[in-house]
Chains A and B, each alone.
Chain A
């Protein structure tokens, strides 16, 4: 489903070359919940951004859902983001001028879904926000905003869901609720890649990829199998 072959990302700065990701090779199958773990500056977000075609590698090859991302033109990259991947951000990044329902509608519409409104209503209901459809983002709590952001991503119907520290801004209780939702998406057949520095969250993953200093230092299934989100503590 997702394949990285010898992927590196280097930045040239006034202080010299910074290696954000160094020769990463990885295979992620479909319909799994993957947690990319590592401390700040380890390269985990860089990895996520390159899978999601927000960033391009300096070298190496990336394949996602049978498409070679690293060989795509600019317009193909935009189409790839519309049709294949979808994002959940730590800072939610909702559109302030759109209501909760319209934010979710945006996800469905941009992905080209004809039943956009119906899908959006369903997705909001799925994240228990059916009663907040017509509220603007600033009228929602942080947890509610993130659930809207998840609903927006889910509404795209895209097979790969990429989440960058989705619980970083949230309290424990809300964070667990969000993780439960993401877990459910993986169980439903989507591939979920979640980036975090929180080792506890890694317990609920099917697969854990650990990075340090831009290198993949380990990758494999959780030893005891995926834990239930409600058992996580941090």
Chain B
């Protein structure tokens, strides 16, 4: 027997094609809404993929920068910055390294005061890297970022290259003039060298960054002339032959040089083990930690919003499901349509998410290229991350649809058929609403009543807004807290002392040396304090903290913070920062081990001394530490200094004193303390700039969440709105009611978002930051403007969303809407 099945009848109804076609029609009807929900998923997964790629890009770019510019493997330096004749040092290294070394080059790296800008108005601590241009530079090359370069023809000339970081900080042109130790030279280009990518260092207990440190590549002869060290070098860099262990060669070099006839001791360091290299890579990892936390938080917010919206979206189809059930369609078949809709949202989300991820990634790279310049930047497609984001994007809406579908197919057809506005509502708020007096008339009460009639729905909307805004406030708070901590730290260190000139000497000098006498004895100096700045480690238990110890007169308010100078701290101990005290779990009066250098022959060795903690200064920097000059014998450096803090005489300007001191031979840098406090960018890295992306994405997401909530809410209330308009309520008034309802929920959402954001911030400051910036005790601080901007984004998004539906309200077919009989 042949059975004929009508083409568009029962045979199709039981087949999936029919349901997919029906679902497709639903998608077309709700296209804007589907795209809006998909856009939320896209932004969440996009920021996850975009921000998640930064560490891979930066690490890869750093690796390529180092390798393509032939960064040295090993570096040999005579101790204490002392110099040796070029041939002597080169021969010793070549001889010690033997065939293991493929290339060896000698340099003179010297610290000299630099002035740049028009008429030399920008003072800086110069790092002059003298290279042998005549023989060609094959190790530690540079990438020219502007202007020209220098080559063998410039070997005996006075043309130099200036570091891009410093030039960019002061908006200097790619070519110009600058003064090194009062000698005018011409820089013909700006450059980036992997060796000097890390711009952060300390000077006089204050963080110094790109703005105050000028790295200059100069012909070796010029550097030797400027440093008054003709024919001398103090640095040898080497490349290890391919396939040979760098560490093994370093050990071999160290041993051989120790046995050589060199008149002074040398240190051999492996570049990739150096603190600078490690901190460069460490910064990438630590910043990625912060970004990952925020990306996950945003993804969580987006996920929740998409989940909630998909749930409501599917919930709106519940009546259709009831009709299908009453017609006897199997449950499994009924579920196809809403699940297909969720799948369509998911697929749209993934497609848009890939585009958003790519776009956000490009934006991230563009910011990083400016804020974290590298010789070579590479940003390859991170397929793994995008796949992870895509899986999340698919899973969220599907998860959002499962519960309402499960609920709908399990209910009885009669329950499912009840139209939403006639469904029985049972919740405590109804009773409360009945009894509670509210001001105004039914129109003015409408927003609040609408918001409370379906508390579960309102709560979900509030939570969605809160979860979107929470990471924004946390992001603002993280920036505010770091900035404010650094500012307060600088204020604590300089508090009560006024501005002063921090002078660094080229090398260790006896307190009575000519250079020291010239500095402190200058007619322009009103007061001075000498000091010895030396590195060391504080050790307690298993915790070690790197410190930069300023050995000074602890009673001199010029040398130490006023709060410390007044404490009459006795010698024979150490003063540490509050951050270090916290990390080491030690308080004033406790004892701590200081690992410090001790002069030994022509070099030095490290020794451990157990010292009492004489005082704790309220500094957030762990590396800040002070000792008395009287304790210098502990280091074997009695009467030795390498820093001076001076203030101008009352009738002398700081600029005049700075220029005068900079011109003294033997002075490496002379910078006003106030000029060193503008270097937070280097401490924060690119974080604060990348937070702009978070703000834009979160703002968009808040708008989309509010729009969708408002749109779904408006659809659910279409009959009420039509009735109001039938009774003469103007469209403007209806929109106003919707705006007020939306803002009402928005305000609660904002409040909850801010509270959640503060909790997230506390968690980040307690767990993520200590790992990312271990040397800084970041204290929680959120500016009023941050609160206001977060609230403003929430209010604008929630208030704006109903406005987007005003046109639809105006075009509403009142008779059709009102006649619709359930």
Contacts and interface: CB of A to CB of B under 8 A. Distances in A.
B728 A97 contact: no
A24 interface: no
A54 B815 contact: yes
Given A89-B818, A90-B821, A136 B442 contact: no
Interface stretch (A101-109, A184-192, A209-217, A226-234): A101-109
B818 A54 contact: yes
B443 A109 contact: yes
A205 interface: no
Interface stretch (B117-125, B370-378, B416-424, B612-620): B416-424
Contacts of B442: 95, 98, 102-103, 105-106, 109
B430 interface: yes
Contacts of B248: none
Given A89-B818, A99-B434, A169-B821, A138 B727 contact: no
Contact of A106 (B423, B443, B452, B815): B443
B730 interface: yes
A134 interface: yes
Interface stretch (B81-89, B285-293, B718-726): B718-726
B821 A81 contact: no
A41 interface: no
Contact of A138 (B424, B819, B822): B424
A81 B728 contact: yes
A83 interface: yes
A91 B728 contact: no
Given A54-B815, A97-B453, A138-B422, A110 B729 contact: yes
Interface string A119-156: 00000000000000010111000000000000000001
B723 A95 contact: yes
Interface residues of A, number: 42
A89 B424 CA distance: 21
Contacts of B822: 91
A86 B815 contact: no
Nearest to B425: A138
A145 to B, nearest CB: 9
A87 interface: yes
Contacts of A36: none
Contact of B727 (A90, A96, A107): A107
B186 interface: no
B821 A138 contact: no
A86 B453 contact: no
Contacts of A168: 821
Nearest to A142: B422
Nearest to A116: B441
Interface in B441-456: 441-443, 445-446, 449-450, 452-453
Interface in B696-732: 719-720, 722-730
Contact of A97 (B441, B450, B730, B821): B450
Contacts, number: 99
Nearest to B421: A96
A89 B719 CA distance: 11
A45 B819 contact: yes
B814 interface: yes
Interface in A21-63: 45-46, 49, 52, 54-55
A105 B422 CA distance: 20
A87 B425 contact: no
A136 B430 contact: yes
Contact of A82 (B441, B720, B728): B728
A132 to B, nearest CB: 12
Interface in B793-822: 814-815, 818-822
A177 B722 CA distance: 27
Looking at A109, A156, A168, the one whose CB has the most chain B CB atoms below 10 A away is A109
Nearest to A87: B726
A172 interface: no
Contacts of B727: 81-82, 86-87, 106-107, 110, 156
Contacts of A83: 728
A14 to B, nearest CB: 16
A164 interface: yes
7 cross-chain pairs, A with B, having the tightest CB-CB distances, nearest first:
A82-B728, A81-B728, A97-B453, A93-B723, A97-B449, A106-B442, A49-B815
Interface of B: 421-425, 430, 433-434, 441-443, 445-446, 449-450, 452-453, 719-720, 722-730, 814-815, 818-822
16 contacts: A45-B815, A45-B819, A46-B815, A49-B814, A54-B818, A81-B726, A87-B818, A90-B819, A91-B818, A93-B720, A96-B421, A97-B433, A98-B442, A111-B728, A138-B422, A138-B425
